[in-house]
């Protein structure tokens, strides 16, 4: 299904500043942590946001962009140098700075940048050089799992991010900070972790056990070019007077736009955006973080073609492969895609097999709970120390989470193990040691990569 939005006053594309408005106390960091053609939408939304906020008057040296930069000239791109975020829309890649690209898109660098790292600044790199009177806005889009978000080059854990916020608060690095996170399980980055007294307000695309969604499939590019939550965010900005639209009103907009269509399975799914931290900040207007629209730009909407096709971020690789099989009429191409599909399922079965076998090896630690319940239920994470030990052991010795996105959906198993073990330190140590030994003796490195 396609929807066409038309407006007389379409968004001006370029850097247009509001005369007489000082935005020097505002800082914006836009981060797409992912790479690869299947994750096209993560980078495209960041490019679109960059142009939008520059047009609202955010100074060029106050807006920092993280993007892997492998989409514009990707071998699968039929229009090299062009990236779009709306079907038929403008090239959002043009003019986007290469502040941090490739291997520099990683958790350590991200945390350094938002905290104003002097070493990076001395190297001539952009950092958030904010002070006690400044407003900081952060956006992150990629994949996620309980208590973490995934970069293409590393894992950012919830405690690391929230500890950075506490440090910034203590060092007077902002007056107010707002962060939007668009990943699966994004609520788990803040749920019961983010303090409500450090002037930080967080909005997540989903709660702590829900998926997030790519959106707007382009049949010419053969990928999803946007993200459901982030698109709603930018459309809300475009449609409203930012001097009147508050962060709370924007959150209400997210709640009103909360159902996605999973096209491959002809189903609909709710997605519940969440708020965390200092909720009083939500009373502030969007303009206090993202700048002001030029005269005549207020209340404009996107004029480009859209569709409502979506896929959860975890299953985008499978979805795109099934589409390729369905779309191609060339028998050799179809057979090639079918072989890819067979390998994809084999990889998933390989992970499933080893997760079940490992769980069976520690079943004696949890005699009162069935293996099937550990494998297929979702509990709220409270035993974070236990969970972090299992996740780190798994990531370092079993399957690299950044290279095997299918494994992200298995992290609930570690949540369940830890919640059942509780504060039994001996049990936790045994579970961690069993995982280490199991992977060393059973996981073959040549099979433990690119399982999506």
Q: What is the pLDDT of residue 300?
A: 56
Give the span between the Cα atoms of 215 and 368, in whole angstroms.
Answer: 42
Alpha helices in 294-400 (DSSP H): 316-327, 331-361, 371-376, 384-397
pLDDT the model gives residue 7: 34
User: Which domains are assigned to the chain?
Assistant: 2-312 (3.40.50.1460), 328-447 (1.10.132.130)
**Strand order in 176-182's β-sheet?**
63-66, 26-32, 135-141, 176-182, 200-204, 274-277
Q: What pLDDT was estimated at residue 266?
A: 84
- The answer to whether the CB of 155 falls within 8 A of the CB of 395 is yes
What is the reported pLDDT for 329? 95
149 by DSSP, 3-state: which?
strand
Of 1, 67, 10, nearest to 307 by C-alpha is 1
Q: Which stretches of 220-330 are DSSP H helices?
A: 228-239, 247-256, 287-290, 316-327
Contact criterion met (CB below 8 Å) for 313 and 212? yes
Tell me what pLDDT residue 17 has: 55
Where is 306: in which H helix or E strand? Answer: strand 305-307
Q: What is the DSSP string of 14-72?
A: S----TT---TTEEEEEEE---SGGGHHHHHHHHHHHHHHHHTT--GGGEEEE----ST
Please give the sequence-ordered ranges of beta strands (E in DSSP) within 119-258, or none if there are none.
Answer: 135-141, 143-145, 148-151, 154-157, 176-182, 200-204, 213-218, 223-227
Concatenated DSSP letters of 364-385: GG-TTS-HHHHHH-------HH
Return the residue matching tokens 């040691």: 433
- Per-residue pLDDT of the chain (452 residues), as tens digits, is 444 433 323 344 444 456 667 899 999 999 999 999 999 999 999 999 999 999 999 999 999 999 999 999 999 999 999 999 999 999 999 999 999 999 999 999 999 999 999 999 999 999 999 999 999 999 999 999 999 999 999 999 999 999 999 999 999 999 999 999 999 999 999 999 999 999 999 999 999 999 999 999 999 999 999 999 999 999 999 999 999 999 999 999 999 999 998 877 788 999 999 999 999 999 999 999 999 998 776 555 556 667 789 999 999 999 999 999 999 999 999 999 999 999 999 999 999 999 999 999 999 999 999 999 999 999 999 999 999 999 999 999 999 999 999 999 999 999 999 999 998 999 999 999 999 999 999 999 888 899 99
Q: Which residues does the annotation mark as catalytic?
A: 143, 184
Q: What is the pLDDT of residue 36?
A: 98
Element (H, E) at 121: helix 118-122
């Amino acid at each position: 299904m396609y929807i066409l939005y038309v407006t007389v006053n379409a968004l001006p594309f370029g850097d247009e500043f509001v005369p007489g408005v000082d935005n020097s106390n505002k800082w914006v960091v836009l981060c797409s942590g992912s790479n690869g053609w299947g994750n096209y939408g993560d980078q495209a939304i960041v490019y679109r946001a960059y142009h939008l906020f520059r047009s609202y008057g955010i100074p060029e040296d106050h807006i920092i962009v993280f993007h892997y930069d492998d989409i514009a000239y990707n071998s699968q791109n039929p229009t090299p140098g062009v990236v779009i975020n709306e079907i038929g829309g403008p090239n959002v890649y043009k003019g986007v700075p290469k502040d941090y690209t490739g291997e520099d898109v990683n958790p350590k660098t991200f945390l350094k940048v938002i905290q104003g790292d002097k070493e990076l600044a001395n190297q001539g790199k952009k950092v958030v050089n904010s002070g006690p009177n400044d407003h900081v806005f952060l956006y992150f889009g990629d994949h996620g799992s309980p208590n973490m978000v995934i970069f293409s080059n590393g894992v950012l854990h919830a405690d690391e991010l929230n500890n950075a916020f506490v440090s910034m608060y203590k060092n007077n690095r902002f007056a107010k900070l707002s962060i939007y996170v668009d990943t699966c399980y994004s609520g788990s980055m803040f749920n019961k972790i983010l303090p409500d007294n450090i002037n930080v307000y967080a909005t997540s695309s989903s709660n702590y056990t829900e998926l997030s969604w790519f959106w707007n499939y382009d049949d010419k590019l053969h990928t999803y070019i946007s993200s459901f939550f982030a698109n709603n965010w930018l459309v809300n900005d475009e449609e409203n007077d930012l001097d009147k639209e508050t962060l709370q009103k924007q959150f209400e907009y997210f709640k009103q736009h909360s159902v996605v269509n999973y096209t491959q399975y002809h189903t609909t799914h709710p997605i519940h955006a969440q708020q965390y931290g200092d909720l009083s900040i939500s009373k502030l207007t969007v303009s206090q973080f993202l700048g002001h629209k030029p005269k005549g730009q207020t209340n404009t909407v996107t004029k480009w073609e859209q569709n409502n096709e979506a896929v959860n971020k975890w299953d985008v690789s499978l979805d795109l492969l099934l589409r390729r099989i369905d779309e191609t009429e060339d028998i050799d191409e179809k057979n090639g895609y079918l072989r890819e599909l067979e390998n994809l399922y084999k990889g998933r079965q390989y992970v499933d097999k080893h997760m079940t076998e490992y769980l069976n090896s520690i079943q004696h630690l949890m005699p009162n709970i069935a293996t099937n319940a550990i494998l297929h239920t979702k509990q709220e994470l409270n035993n974070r120390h236990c969970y972090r030990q299992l996740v780190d052991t798994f990531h370092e010795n079993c399957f690299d989470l950044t290279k095997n996105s299918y494994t992200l959906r298995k992290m609930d198993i570690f949540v369940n193990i830890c919640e059942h073990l509780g504060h039994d330190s001996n049990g936790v140590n045994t579970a961690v040691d069993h995982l280490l030994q199991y992977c060393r003796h059973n996981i073959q490195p040549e099979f433990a990569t690119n399982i999506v």
